[in-house]
A and B are shown apart, each in its own frame.
Chain A
Amino acid sequence: MIRTHILVCAGAGCISSGGNALKDMLAAELKKRGLDGEVKIVETGCMGPCDRGPVMLVHPEGTFYQRVTALDVPRLVEEHFIKGRPYTKLLPKDDITANVVTTQRDFSFFAKQEKIVLENCGLIDAENIEEYIARDGYAALGKVLTSMKPELVIAQIKASGLRGRGGAGFPTGVKWELMAKAPAKPKYVICNADEGDPGAFMNRAVLEGDPHRVLEGMAIGAYAMGSNRGFIYIRAEYPLAIKRLNVAIAQAYQHGLLGKNLFETGYDFDIEIRIGAGAFVCGEETALMRSIEGRRGQPMPRPPFPAQRGLWGKPTNINNVETWATIKPIILRGAKWYASFGTEKTKGTKVFALAGKIRNTGLAEVPYGTTMREIIFGIGGGIPQGRKFKAVQTGGPSGGVIPEQHLDEPLEYESLQKLGSIMGSGGMVVMDEDSCMVDVARFFMEFCCDESCGKCPPCRVGTRQMLNLLDRICTGEAGLEDIEKLESLATVVRDASLCGLGQTAPNPVLTTLRYFRDEYLAHVVEKRCPARVCRELLEFRINEEKCVGCSLCARGCPVHTIFKRDGQKKYYIVEDACIQCGACLDACRFDAVLKTSNGVNGRPVTPAASETSSTRATKPVMEK
């Protein structure tokens, strides 16, 4: 008789930190101790706090263990399952209360979340359809097919206020209605599982942890819109999710929940997986469709919209993974129930991916209207190592940065737009005082420039020109007119680009200019990087008072520019040849290496060694 379940997280995050070895060790140890008849191991999807992985949850106690390694297993089994008390070494500490957490319920990371989309993630075995069914799986589909007309389904989705979770936030019910009205046949539904935003892994968790809810949502939507064929377009970089989807689809077919004559109602629905090939732009719906058609993934202008002319010229409805995953609970528990969460304009919950300089990296699902401060400091646990919060970037590489003074704004589409950012798919990258905002803007511009499909000149050339300007600002070669050029180009790229990639690519630049203009000015006027990140603007010096002459720095210097003072046990750096790599700073154990950025006041302005004359505009060469 099974008396205890150990839920081991088998999401990609925990697996990559050793989850498989842990699970094997656990199974072996339980068998060794003769407990395998009483204790069952269940591999589940992502539980959320990925930074603390590998994680596991023991039921019925609700004990939550973090950072469990295979080596911990013998003691863990001994303590928890033989002696019957929690193994304190592996218990997490709550960020808010600073107490040790004994059960999941007491962990503020979980307590403040409202899991609707993630309700099964971390609870069920994603590769076992019966566990999904046991949690009301496919009951919504059954209800829809046997007792609801398509119009009623759409009406319910409309009443719920559900907005597309892919980033645009278009009302899903209205989108479905447009598609249902389109006369041409056949019609297609697509699940956009490309999730290209760096730092976003919300969709991945759902696909790995609860794939059936996506299939069920697609079937319900397809029925409502008059389609019999669905595609899931998933990025190739998610092999685990692809595997779990394939298993889920096969099991659904076996159980008659996909395929012909579902629930004996005569309705057919087939789903096919299509795998991406590494292009961020294929997350854009028209480019995605062209990719499925076997063509180059380039966006097409809209109108015509996919609901009128989409895949192979036929009406097509594309929704994000999270949107499809929300359909089942809305049908089962009602539109009014769903609309009770969130704000007036934006109903329901959203899964956010917390990344960057934050204690609890991972997934958090909260109702719209939660403030950013609550997520970052309440659930996220704030900034580690006592650093100060500087900014949070929302919505992926096309999102903007939001500074501290706006952290009490509620998370919803309109309020983020007013701040110059976007909701996007839900990525949140937190930055602290050690992040250079100009470098951040440069980093995301490089991403957009790299991922641009190249169809339209504003994005193709405009992002490249903006990147060149940002590079020059970061290396100290730019002048004030370059900031003007950057702003001017940003508006052209934003207003003239064909698709969302180009239209939003300038957002990091525009918001960092809006909220952190002083950092740009420091780079350009003083040639100084306040966060001490931009290499060409750094000086490395040795504080000879602290230097003990161990020579570790000199030995590690790749360009051999650290020398010993004659007759003393002190070292000094000859700056001309220094490449600002920071190896000496890493090597020194006596805190004697200083990394500063003092700008033009701190060091002579010399031309870069590699160019005869690379300096332009403001830096005269033949200065005597």
Chain B
Amino acid sequence: MSDKPKIKVATVWLGGCSGCHMSFLDLDERLVELVKLVDITASPITDVKEIPNVDVGIVEGAVCNEEQEHVLRTLRSRCKVLVALGDCAITGNIPALRNQFKLDDVLARGFVETESTQVGDIPGPPPVPRLLKKVRPIQEFVKVDAHIPGCPPDADTIWYALTELLAGRMPQWNEKNLCYD
């Protein structure tokens, strides 16, 4: 048993496809190494929803609705280092495609004009969170300390970034390790 306290990590997924978390799981055996150093607290993987105070917060996905904004701000206020994982969190990516249309049109297309719907109704809060007018990357809401680009970033890239952060360094991105998809 090591005396060194484990680094506490929390992860959330916002407006994303969960692919970045799947890619994280692609670390395979390296996960075993990872959990020796790291304590994953709240996460979709552990299915723990309440976010405690942690050292590192990892965010997948863009901010699309009020609930996601709330979760993001909560995590930011409870972590020291916030990491944006994947293109959705960094650029908006595919969820942000809906920014090209008016929100009302998007909702109508999704809930009223769908081909098999007979009587459509647009859900709202509660319980469905209200959509924001524009989908935005997380850094337009909170300060982000590190980014891991990719859609999803592959396991090697995630491993590189995490090991650098655990060693107390910022990952250095260049032509050799950058990939936008």
Contact = CB atoms under 8 A, between A and B. Distances in A.
Is chain B found bound to chain A in the same assembly? yes
Interface of A: 611-614, 616-617, 620-622
A621 B133 contact: no
Interface string B120-146: 000000000011110010001110000
Given A612-B66, A622-B66, A622-B70, A617 B132 contact: no
Interface SS of A by simple majority: loop
Nearest to A481: B143
Given A612-B131, A612-B133, A617 B141 contact: yes
B73 A620 contact: yes
A612 B140 contact: no
A528 B101 CA distance: 34
Given A616-B140, A617-B141, 20 more contacts: A611-B133, A612-B66, A612-B130, A612-B131, A612-B132, A612-B133, A613-B66, A613-B132, A613-B133, A614-B133, A616-B136, A616-B141, A617-B140, A617-B142, A620-B73, A621-B66, A621-B70, A622-B66, A622-B70, A622-B73
Contacts of B136: 616
Given A612-B132, A613-B132, A621 B140 contact: no
Contacts of A617: 140-142
Contacts of B26: none
B39 interface: no
25 contacts: A611-B133, A612-B66, A612-B130, A612-B131, A612-B132, A612-B133, A613-B66, A613-B69, A613-B132, A613-B133, A614-B133, A616-B136, A616-B140, A616-B141, A617-B140, A617-B141, A617-B142, A620-B73, A621-B66, A621-B69, A621-B70, A622-B66, A622-B69, A622-B70, A622-B73
Assign chain B's interface to a size class: 10 to 19
A622 B130 CA distance: 13
B157 to A, nearest CB: 28
Contacts of A614: 133
B14 to A, nearest CB: 14
Nearest to A622: B70
Contacts of A622: 66, 69-70, 73
B60 to A, nearest CB: 20
A606 to B, nearest CB: 16
Contacts of B69: 613, 621-622
A486 B130 CA distance: 32
Contacts of A611: 133
B138 to A, nearest CB: 11
- The listed residue with most A CB atoms (<10 A of its CB), out of B69, B136, B142, is B69
Contacts of A613: 66, 69, 132-133
B73 to A, nearest CB: 6
Contacts of B130: 612
B126 to A, nearest CB: 14
7 closest cross-chain pairs (CB), A and B: A622-B70, A613-B132, A616-B140, A612-B130, A611-B133, A612-B132, A612-B133
A427 B140 CA distance: 39
A572 B140 CA distance: 38
A51 to B, nearest CB: 46
Contacts of B133: 611-614
A568 B70 CA distance: 45
B30 to A, nearest CB: 35
Interface string B37-70: 0000000000000000000000000000010011
Nearest to B130: A612
Contacts of B131: 612
Contacts of B66: 612-613, 621-622
A620 B142 CA distance: 10
Q: Most chain-B CB neighbours within 10 Å: which of A613, A614, A622?
A: A613
B51 to A, nearest CB: 15
A614 B70 CA distance: 14
Interface string B61-96: 000001001100100000000000000000000000
Nearest to B66: A613
Contacts of A620: 73
B72 to A, nearest CB: 11
A612 B129 CA distance: 11
A621 B74 CA distance: 12
Nearest to A621: B69
Contacts of A612: 66, 130-133
Nearest to B103: A612
Interface string B139-163: 0111000000000000000000000
Contacts of A616: 136, 140-141
A621 B142 CA distance: 13
Nearest to B77: A620
A251 to B, nearest CB: 58
B41 to A, nearest CB: 22
A620 B70 CA distance: 9
Nearest to B132: A613
Nearest to B140: A616
A249 to B, nearest CB: 52
A430 to B, nearest CB: 39
Contacts of B140: 616-617
A621 B133 CA distance: 14
A620 to B, nearest CB: 6
A622 B125 CA distance: 14
A612 B131 CA distance: 8
Nearest to A615: B141
A37 to B, nearest CB: 73
B18 to A, nearest CB: 24
A617 B142 CA distance: 6
A620 B131 CA distance: 16
A616 B72 CA distance: 12
A614 B132 CA distance: 8
B38 to A, nearest CB: 29
A617 B143 CA distance: 8
